[in-house]
Amino acid sequence: MSKIKQISSKAPEDKDLLDGLKNGDNISISSIYRTCFPSVSHMIQNNNGDEEEAKDIFQEAVMVLYDKITHTNFELSSKLSTFLYAVSRRLWLKQLNKKNATFTISDSNGLEIPDLEIDIQSHLDQEIKFDKMENALQQLGEPCHTILKDFYILNHSMQEICDDLGYTNTDNAKTQKYKCLQRLKKLFFN
Amino acid sequence: MKEKEFIESADRYLNGELSTSERVEFEKLCEQDEKLNSLFLTHKDFVATLREKHTRADVKAKLAKVMTQESSQGFFFNMWKNLKINGAAAAAVAILSSVATLYLSGYFSSLRKTTSEYSALKREINNVKRNVNAHNQAINTINKESQTNQTALQYGATGFMLTKDGYVVTNYHVVNGADSIHLQNSQGESFRASIIHIDPSKDLAILHISDTSFNPISLPYTFSNQSLDLGEGIFTIGYPRDEAVYGEGYLSSATGYSGDTTAYQISIPVNPGNSGGPVLDKNGHIIGIISGKQKGLDGAAFAIKTKALMETLDNIPENSLKGKIKLSSKNSLANLPRTEQIKKMQNYIYIVKVY
């Protein structure tokens, strides 16, 4: 049955899935979830976890992968599902050890991928950095948030921003943008 | 240069909005001024972080959405996913078994029957005997070097005169593939004939007697293309064997095989060899030409309407004719007893022999 399934629906290449994840492609993301989540879920639920915790761990593992592919020239040395499984396993172990003294995970495949600790650490650093940015943006308030988002994220021109937000001329808008940016930097670097 | 202006040009630099000369100038400025350079690098990093933060949050949100969607598709969706292949297999088996049932119950063979129940009525003369002779000959000559040519299969059917100057009509299926055609009348006189025109769609062939020994004689019958009423008494003379055979019956339907409007259904006993024979009403008007019958159905024979014959005659190209076709207009059969009618017209009805 499972064999027939594999033949009938051709699984996309791991490399394509990674590219898709990098670009935020919905199909790739759901494909990664479908192929990799079941084994992770199984492992966590067999080791004092439940479905919800498995989902959290898996989500974090995917973000570890995302940070890795966006910041390094990452090339998979194993199968994608194996990598995600190993990361999830390590993350789950950490979480268990936080609550209790020492834990070991019992599972059938005791695979280890080197440098996993570095990846997770760099993911955590990223997480902190981006959390800081999120906080800074939230404290910034309006209209600064919109101006900066329109200009830097949506790549609107100053003229468009001026029109959208009702500034009398672009110079005013530019001054406002500069002020907002300075404030955001201050909030972020503190 | 104020910091505000510098950041502004830095943004334009990063967005690639500066011209080449402006770019060079900007890069030079950064090179020369250590402070501006570090300001530029920090700004660049900061903007990059801001952008990354957004794309990353975007991916994270998408992932979370996918995860809730997939798991909310629930029990039935997952079951369907798992059973998809089984379902396909079951459907295949169901289709196969229904087709097999139809086949076994004879559905398809009855379908085929309705399409091939028509049988043309040409006579394969001595067919069996010929085959046996051919076998014998083959056995006899098996060791001889010279092979004698086998004579082609011979067909027999009926045809009758259209005009007094030698035009004869019979069925297309009679002369189809003919090498040579001979017409023989009831007195035993035989003439060679050539094909003037064929109309495969109406199953008609117009022949012309090309023998010089043929003497024009005027016809006793005329042609009627008025449609007849059901039940009208009709008769035919044909050659299902080497002697003329008279057959009598009635018009049973205004259309022919499977609703063919160019033909009648008639109730006259006909046999192979009757093809091409004339169908006449009681006054000696020719109303049709026998063409075939339906297999497995008693008394259902078919005759091509005279109207269709007229249409075919009209469609003959001028240059393929040997003199204009002029149908007779004087009927000398009306009001005669049947036996007299038969006697008078017998000589205008031929055995068509096809080699």
- A60-83 confidence digits (pLDDT tens): 888 888 888 887 777 777 788 888
Distance in angstroms (rounded) separating the CA atoms of residues B24 and B6:
15
Asked whether residue A86 is assigned to any structural domain, the reply reads: yes
Instruction: Looking at the structure, tell me whether residues A109 and A37 fall in a common domain.
Output: yes
Count the alpha carbons within 13 Å of B91 in the hemisphere toward its beta carbon: 6
Helix segments in chain B, DSSP class H? 3-14, 20-32, 34-72, 74-104, 107-115, 127-140, 172-175, 306-314, 338-345
Which pLDDT tens digit goes with each residue over B272-325?
888 889 999 988 889 999 988 877 777 788 999 988 888 888 888 887 777 778
Closest residue in chain B to residue A131, using alpha carbons only: B53
Are the C-beta atoms of residues B280 and B266 closer than 8 Å to each other?
no
| Domain end among A100, A124, A148 | A124
Based on the fold, state whether residues A115 and A24 are members of the same structural domain.
yes
Is A23 domain-assigned? Answer: yes
| ipTM for the predicted complex | 0.77
Say yes or no: A98 and A143 in one domain: no
> How far is it, in rounded angstroms, from Cα B256 to Cα B293?
9
Matching residue, tokens 């502004």: B8
> Chain B neighbours among A 15-44 (CB < 8 Å)?
21, 24, 26, 29-30, 33-34, 37
Q: Which residue has the tokens 């972020």?
A: A188
Nearest-10 crossing angle of helices A14-22, A80-99:
60
pLDDT exceeds 90 at position B93: yes
pLDDT above 70 as % of chain B: 88
Last residue of a domain, one of A101, A124, A147: A124
- Please indicate whether, in this complex, the C-beta atoms of B63 and A59 are within 8 angstroms of each other: yes
CA distance linking residue B209 with residue B190, whole number of Å: 10
Per-residue pLDDT of chain A (190 residues; tens, 9 = 90+): 444 444 434 556 777 888 888 887 888 888 888 888 888 888 888 888 888 888 888 888 888 888 888 877 777 777 888 888 888 888 888 888 776 655 566 655 555 556 677 888 888 888 888 888 888 888 887 778 888 888 888 877 777 877 777 777 877 778 888 888 888 888 877 7
For residue A47, how many other CB atoms are within 10 A of its CB? 18
pLDDT computed for residue B297 by the predictor? 72
Instruction: Select the residue of B46, B51, B66 nearest A26 (Cβ to Cβ).
Output: B66
> Are residues A103 and A169 both part of a single domain?
no
Query: Domain tally for chain A?
Result: 2
Please state, in angstroms and rounded to a whole number, the distance separating the CA atoms of residues B228 and B264: 9
- Same domain as A148, residue A101: no
Which chain B residues are Cβ-neighbours of A126 within 8 angstroms? 56
Q: What is the pLDDT of residue A59?
A: 87
CATH architecture of the domain with range B156-354: Beta Barrel (2.40)
Q: How buried is B188 (Cβ within 10 angstroms: 0-12 exposed, 13-18 middle, 19+ buried)?
A: exposed
pLDDT at residue B289 in the model: 92
Which residue among B4, B15, B58 places its CB closest to the CB of A178?
Answer: B4
In chain B, % helix, strand, coil (3-state, to 5) comes to: 40, 25, 35
Per-residue model confidence as pLDDT tens digits over B26-40: 788 777 877 778 878
Our CA-based measurement puts residue A76 at a distance from the nearest CA of chain B, in whole angstroms, of: 20
The whole-number average pLDDT for the span B66-94 is 73
* pTM, rounded to two decimals: 0.44
Q: Would you state the pLDDT for residue B149?
A: 46
Range(s) of the domain holding residue A110:
11-124
B45 contact A CB<8A: no
Task: List, for residues B29-78, the tens digit of each pLDDT value.
Answer: 777 877 778 878 888 888 888 888 888 888 888 888 888 877 665 555 55
| Mean pLDDT taken over chain B | 81
Query: With helix as H, strand as E and coil as C, how does A47-67 read?
Result: CCCCHHHHHHHHHHHHHHHHH
pLDDT reading at B212 higher than 50: yes
Q: Which residues of A28-37 are buried (b: 16+ CB within 10 A; e: fewer)?
A: bbbbbbebbb
In a domain, residue A41? The reply is yes
Q: Which of B11, B55, B70 is closest, CB to CB, to A30?
A: B70
Mean pLDDT of all residues belonging to chain A: 78
- Domain ranges in chain B? 3-71, 73-104, 156-354
Q: How crowded is residue A5: how many other Cβ atoms within 10 Å of its Cβ?
A: 13
Q: Residues A126, A71: contact at Cβ < 8 Å?
A: yes
